[in-house]
Structure 1
Amino acid sequence: MITVGRPVDILATARAQVLDQGIGLTEDQALQCLRLPDERVDELLDLAHEVRTKWCGDEVEVEGIVSLKTGGCPEDCHFCSQSGVFDSPVRSAWLDIPSLVRAAKETANTGATEFCIVAAVRGPDGRLMAQVREGVKAIQDAVDINVACSLGMLTQEQVDELAAIGVHRYNHNLESARSYFGNVVTTHSFEERWDTCEMIRKAGMELCCGGILGMGETVEQRAEFAAQLAALDPDEVPLNFLNPRPGTPFGDQEPMSAIDALRAVATFRLVMPRTILRFAGGREITLGDLAERGVRGGVNAVIVGNYLTTLGRPADEDLAMLADLKMPIKALARDL
């Protein structure tokens, strides 16, 4: 008689593989976590918290962002109200250097260690690169904070220049799984984004690369996306949740459910046990009062204050939440 053994429990496997050995889940294993029933999500979150504490430590990294160039982007990212292709209420605008420095100072005053300059463009032209060059220097002269940038797709020459002027980290999201990318963007390819990310890593800057969940992708594609991010090996993964914006193709979508968002946060932590996993846009809409549970489920970084075109939680509320959770804010580290 053939005896069929009990199926192996994915959380037991994850505990042995990820928590004990620091080896991230595979795509298939991630899919099993994403399919866990609601009543087991707390177990999943608790395990993700243990993994984060063991392999990343207790500290939480805080970051602020500001838009140097807002709106008027020629790309058709279906979630983005900054696209000039859609009839959205965001209009093109530029921020001057004194305002940029003031925003960096305000960010530093929250205890943040990172300030990211963002521009809504396919990639930077000469004018934008000149303004970034001037802005980075002005911030470095005035504020003790790491400067990051998110300026779209880059050439090798632009990558080398950003590294030379002291940009600490570069953000360029893959946005979604390769198999779903064509449903999100049609004006450029997944491979073009991937190539910029590879150049960033090779130039010695830290790579920040994540995306947006809840854009209509399947659970299988969420697992695929987590595995593709892990293969790229970014220093930081910002997790955004779709906040449907009026006038965009995704404007009528229902926000992702809180339980699915928590399942995804914990699963991404188990796929990438040593990565900075950052709560970013849309968490206020998707998680609401459960944001604290998400932070206790594997997240070890947050963006404080407002985002590019949407309101976030006030910085003091996030800082109070971290204090209540006894999660120390990471201090600014400088190379000696």
Structure 2
Amino acid sequence: MTAAPHQVETAAGDNDILAVAREQVLERGVGLSQEQVLEVLRLPGEALQDLLALAHDVRMRWCGPEVEVEGIVSVKTGGCPEDCHFCSQSGLFPTPVRAAWLDIPGLVKAARETAETGATEFCIVAAVRGPDKRLMSQVREGIRAIREDGNDIQIACSLGMLTQEQVDELVEMGVHRYNHNLETARSNFPNVVTTHSWEERWDTLQMVKDAGMEVCCGGIVGMGESDEQRAEFAVQLAELEPHEVPMNFLIPQQGTPYEHYETIEGPDALRIVAAFRLAMPRTMLRFAGGRELTLGDLGAEQGMLGGINAIIVGNYLTNLGRPAQSDLDMLDDLKMPIKALSDTI
């Protein structure tokens, strides 16, 4: 199987949106509107393969064939004071996760192992509302130690909501990308989180963007949102113009309010990925948490041929992922080159 572009043949009737998208997105590079994304999300099952083929063509035209590979590690796990209903790291829910800190040697080791997979990106994550002085100091020391270890991998951070002073500190440390997910559509956010607002997250992202760091911002699908809210979320992300959008699918976590939620079906997940690609033709879309549970191995390949052009390898904070080598082998089978480090600087 190769990553060569597909030709899309659309049927009459309810597939008209694909013809519109082919002209608007593929040919002109203009993302779909909220109403158009909703049409895509409501396409019948028999249109899925045509949709995925179009999304792949869009990815190839506007992003190219390369795939960015990233590894992530949690420097501070659990004990978070926020009540994000999907998260096992919230200290407000009776989950099995307990607060823990990763020491500097452990951080350096994780960065080294990530680089050895061929990844060009290493993200330092902390389960906090926002970083305090201790955390900022540890991140600074960790980055210095990673560099002294001879590792020139790109370093990203995900440390919650920031002040302008903290944004400036991260820029000075050499952090080139900041992850802060909006998680879901603005209209659905109060159902997911009550201890802070969607607007607070948006404000942090704007400061990061204005400071010149790359913005990584996505969310989680499968948290009770409607198709209308999924379309809303896609265009809200497009408005932010992030460099990267991580695509997560809910993994119901023991002890959280969402522990009994059902995972979404694989075809629905693929349809959502393709719809987000058509809303954001030039944005990096990254497979993140939950894809193994929702899609399995075959679905992961379909996603890579349906608009995805970046991937997290290894484990996801408190959840296990596929072995990194399995994903690297998949990319090799698909003839998708891994983006070189020199191209990400």
Please give the TM-score of this superposition, normalised by the length of structure 2: 0.95
Query: Per the alignment, do residues 181 and 46 of structure 1 end up closer, same or farther by CA in structure 2, a change over 3 Å counting?
Result: same
1:323 corresponds, among 312, 315, 332, to 332
- Following TM superposition, where does structure 1 have runs of at least 4 consecutive aligned residues deviating by more than 6 angstroms? 5-8
Q: Does 1:251 align with 2:247?
A: no
2:184 partner amino acid: S
> After superposition, where does 1:1-40 map in structure 2 within 5 Å?
9-40=16-47
Aligned to 2:99: 92
Equivalent-residue separation in structure 2 for 1:160 and 1:226 (angstroms): 29
In structure 1, runs of 5+ residues without a counterpart are none
Partner of 1:268: 276
Q: CA deviation at 1:157?
A: 0.2
2:292 aligned residue:
284
Who is 1:65 aligned against? 72
Aligned-pair distance for 1:139? 1.3
**Quick one: distance in 2 between partners of 1:335 and 1:261?**
28
Q: Which residue of structure 1 aligns with residue 341 of structure 2?
A: 332
1:130 paired residue number: 137
Q: Does 1:314 align with 2:323?
A: yes
User: Which one of the candidate residues 162, 174, 179 is aligned to 1:154?
Assistant: 162
CA deviation map 1:124-167 (0-9, x unaligned):
00100000111111112321200000000000000001011100
SS at match of 2:220: strand
Query: Are 1:202 and 2:219 an aligned pair?
Result: no
Alpha-carbon deviation of 1:335? 8.3
| CA shift for structure 1 position 13 | 0.3
Q: 1:98 to 1:14 in 2, by over 3 A?
A: same
Find the counterpart in structure 2 of residue 118 from structure 1.
125
Q: Deviations over 1:202-233 (max 9, x none)?
A: 00000000000011100000000000000000
Distance in 2, matches of 1:114 and 1:229, equals 21
Letter in 2 for 1:233: E
Residues 7 and 110 from structure 1, CA distance in 2 versus in 1: closer, same or farther, beyond 3 angstroms?
A: closer
User: Structure 2, unaligned stretches of length 5 or more?
Assistant: 1-11
Aligned amino acid, residue 311 of structure 1: L
Matched with 1:144 is 152
Q: Which residue of 1 aligns with 2:8?
A: none
Deviates more, 1:223-232 or 1:325-334: 325-334
Q: Is residue 304 of structure 2 the alignment partner of residue 295 of structure 1? A: yes
Select the residue among 218, 224, 236 that pairs with 1:216.
224
Q: Which residue of 2 aligns with 1:166?
A: 174
1:287 counterpart SS class = helix
Q: Whole-Å Cα distance in 1 between the matches of residues 281 and 239 of structure 2?
A: 13
Equivalent pairs, count: 332
- Once the two structures are TM-superposed, the CA of residue 41 in structure 1 deviates from its matched residue by 0.6
Q: Output the CA distance in 1 between the equivalents of 2:13 and 2:342.
A: 48
Q: Distance in 2 between matches of 1:46 and 1:334?
A: 27
Where does residue 234 of structure 2 map in the other structure?
226
Distance 1:149 1:309 in 2: 17
* Counterpart AA for 2:61: K
| Counterparts of 2:147 and 2:230, CA distance in 1 | 38
TM-score with structure 1 setting the length: 0.97
Question: Per-residue deviation at 1:8?
Answer: 7.9
Report the identity percentage. Answer: 71
CA distance in 2, matches of 1:6, 1:50: 22
* Deviation, structure 1 residue 7: 7.6
1:227 counterpart SS class: helix
- Cα distance in 2, alignment partners of residues 325 and 8 from structure 1: 28
Write the deviation string for residues 281-314 of structure 1: whole angstroms up to 9, x where unpaired.
0000000131110111000000000000000000
Question: 1:61, CA displacement in angstroms?
Answer: 0.2
Aligned partners of 2:266, 2:83: CA distance in 1, in Å? 27
Q: 1:130 to 1:294 in 2, by over 3 A?
A: same
Q: Could you say what secondary structure the match of 1:253 adopts?
A: coil
9 and 106 in structure 1: CA distance in 2 versus 1, 3 angstrom threshold: same
